[in-house]
Chains A and B, each alone.
Chain A
Amino acid sequence: MTTPLANYLIVAALLFSVGLAGALARRNAVLVLIGLELMLNAANLNFIAFWRFGPHAERLAGLMFVIFSIAVAAAEVAVGLALVIAVYRHRRTAQLDRLDSLKG
């Protein structure tokens, strides 16, 4: 616990690493997607923290970035999960290691 900013940044780093490790270690596509979401959220937390501790908080740049990032994440999740469902319908599995065919 050095300074407040460092706390948030380290929490974000931990969250990011947990997400990354999960995305690397789990088999299920949905969980990999959750891991990616965690990484994205870690980045968002960084933005908010830097906005809060930055010198130009009134410009709202960090906040705006997070707002757009959340919107984009929503779109990404919608499409990603639709893809998972479509793949599952075709292959009867959502296990990533079984989905390595590069041809339709």
Chain B
Amino acid sequence: MLNEIIFLLCASLTLAGAVAAMMLRNLVHCALCAAGAFAGLAALYLQLDAQFVGLAQLLIYVGAIAILIVFTIMLTRGDEVRPGASIASPLWWVGLPVGALVLACLVGAIMASPSLLRLPAGAVHAPVRKIGEALMNRYVMPLQAVGLLLTAALLGAVAIGLREPRDAESKTQ
């Protein structure tokens, strides 16, 4: 009973945050609502006994990605709401049916799935130590690859974000 109430709370927080993030006019509000959705997801993970992942989700999505998004919005002047300007893309009315269609397909697939009858397999314990051991043994190659990827992404982001010197010169003239 308690579990279900918590689930309902978290799920509605997540979905409400997501819907608001996609619908609000002000981009900053959107980003903050998205952060709320991410936090709700983290709560869902925690409720699913995935403590490490939940905390990591909180740390990365709320602590880093949301902040990055906010920064980008500020840098691209997305926070200035121009009255009368459309926030939707030109063919936005096509997007909604596509989303609805995908939802219908997904729900249909979920409902048709035989795995729905599964029940939670008792108490699942995933201590950090076990996750660490798995990362260092079985998943060590993906871990290295992810490290490399993150380094590359860091360098790439810096390289893209750097102002080109030629650009800067033409600005000063």
Please judge, given known A-B contacts A25-B89, A97-B90, whether A34 and B69 are in contact too, CB under 8 Å.
Answer: yes
Docked complex Cα distance between A41 and B167 (Å): 37
CA distance A65 to B94 in the complex (A): 33
Q: Does B9 lie at the interface of the complex (its beta carbon under 8 Å from any beta carbon of A)?
A: no
In the assembled complex, the Cα of A5 lies from the Cα of B116 at a distance in Å of 6
A98 to chain B, nearest CB (A): 10
Q: Which of A78-98 contact B (CB under 8 A)?
A: 78-79, 81-86, 88-89, 94, 96-97
Among B11, B88, B110, the residue within 8 A (CB) of A26 is B88
Q: Mark out the residues of chain A between 40 and 70 whose CB falls within 8 Å of any chain B CB in the assembled complex.
A: 41, 44-45, 48-55, 57-58, 60, 63-64, 66-68, 70
A71 at the interface (CB under 8 A from B): yes
Query: CA of A11 to CA of B19 in the docked complex: distance in angstroms?
Result: 12
Contact size range, A: 35 or more
> Which of A55, A63, A97 meets B52, CB within 8 Å?
A63
B85 to chain A, nearest CB (A): 9
A79 touches B124 (CB 8 A): no
Instruction: List the A side residues contacting B65 at CB < 8 Å.
Output: 37, 73-74, 77
A2-39 near B? 1/0 per residue, CB < 8 Å: 11111111110111111111111111101101110110
B100 touches A78 (CB 8 A): no
Of the residues B14, B86, B89, B116, contact of A15 by C-beta under 8 Å: B14
Question: How far is A25 from B87 in the complex, measured between Cα atoms in Å?
Answer: 9
A102 at the interface (CB under 8 A from B): no
Q: Are B50 and A51 in touch, CB under 8 angstroms?
A: yes
17 A–B pairs (Cβ distance < 8 Å), ordered by A: A8-B44, A9-B110, A11-B15, A18-B19, A20-B102, A22-B18, A24-B89, A25-B88, A25-B95, A25-B96, A28-B78, A30-B72, A48-B48, A63-B53, A70-B57, A85-B75, A94-B78
